[in-house]
């Protein structure tokens, strides 16, 4: 059971993110599921490392959970008209670059993959706090910060994917590229 705990936690985030797609407003139940998705994102990796059960499946589940959670949040924000069109275009553009990054990895390394980086963790953290931050400050300001970080992160991944020769799950930054 210990060997599979991290994957179970990551899978629960995927199911939680799917549940978020059924909401059209940021409500208390939405926020509860959203926060649970965030907590599972924080604990699945450390548990996998502590139980020596890191795996390609776990990395994939983690990425799918992250993307699904962000897409569900974006959908709800768009439905509530809390996201202006230019932000949606910016988010879509960064997403396209992430897709190009994954395709470059497929061509160069033989698999679709995006490494986890410190900037990616900052991006994830800023997205995670967005619904909470919007209660205290102008949402457009926070969304602009997220878009800037997403753009820099997608370019960072593009650089990493064009230079690395191995599919490491964690590459702290462009300064830690494994070229072997």
Q: What is the DSSP track for 109-133?
A: HSS----B-HHHHHHHHHHHTHHHH
Report the Cα 80 to chain-centroid distance in Å.
22
From 126, 125, 120, 156, select the one nearest 141 (Cα to Cα).
Answer: 126
The answer to whether 169 and 116 are in contact (CB under 8 A) is yes
Which of 12-16, 41-45, 175-179 bottoms out in mean pLDDT, i.e. has the lowest? 175-179
Q: Looking only at Cα atoms, what is the longest distance across the chain?
A: 49
**Range 10-14 average pLDDT:** 93
CA distance 72 to 13: 12
pLDDT at 32: 94
- Paired strand residues for 116: 170
Query: Residue 127 pLDDT > 70, yes or no?
Result: yes
pLDDT at 55: 84
| DSSP code string of 45-83 | HHHHHHTT---HHHHHHHHHHHHHHHHHHHHHHHHTT-S
From 59, 37, 51, select the one nearest 105 (Cα to Cα).
Answer: 59
pTM here is: 0.78
Query: Residue 132 pLDDT > 70, yes or no?
Result: yes
pLDDT at 33: 96
What is the pLDDT confidence band of residue 84, given thresholds at 50, 70 and 90?
confident
Domain spans in the chain, listed from the N-terminal domain onward: 1-58, 83-180
From 68, 60, 81, select the one nearest 33 (Cα to Cα).
Answer: 68
Query: Residue 180 pLDDT > 50, yes or no?
Result: no
Q: By three-state DSSP, how is residue 11 classified? A: helix
């Amino acid at each position: 059971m210990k060997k599979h705990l991290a994957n179970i936690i990551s899978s629960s985030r995927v199911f939680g993110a799917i549940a978020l797609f059924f909401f059209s407003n940021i409500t208390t139940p939405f926020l509860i599921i959203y926060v649970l998705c965030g907590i599972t994102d924080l604990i699945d990796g450390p548990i996998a490392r502590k139980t020596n059960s890191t795996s390609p499946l776990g990395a994939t589940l983690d990425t799918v959970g992250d993307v699904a959670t962000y897409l569900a949040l974006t959908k709800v924000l768009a439905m509530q008209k809390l996201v202006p069109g230019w932000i949606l275009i910016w988010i879509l553009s960064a997403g396209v670059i992430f897709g190009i990054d994954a395709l470059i990895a497929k061509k160069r390394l033989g698999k679709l993959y995006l490494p986890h980086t410190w900037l990616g963790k900052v991006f994830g953290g800023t997205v995670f706090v967005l619904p909470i931050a919007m209660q205290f400050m102008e949402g457009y300001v926070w969304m602009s910060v997220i878009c800037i970080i997403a753009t820099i992160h997608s370019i960072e991944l593009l650089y990493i994917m064009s230079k690395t020769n191995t599919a490491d799950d964690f590459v702290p930054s462009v300064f830690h590229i494994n070229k072997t």
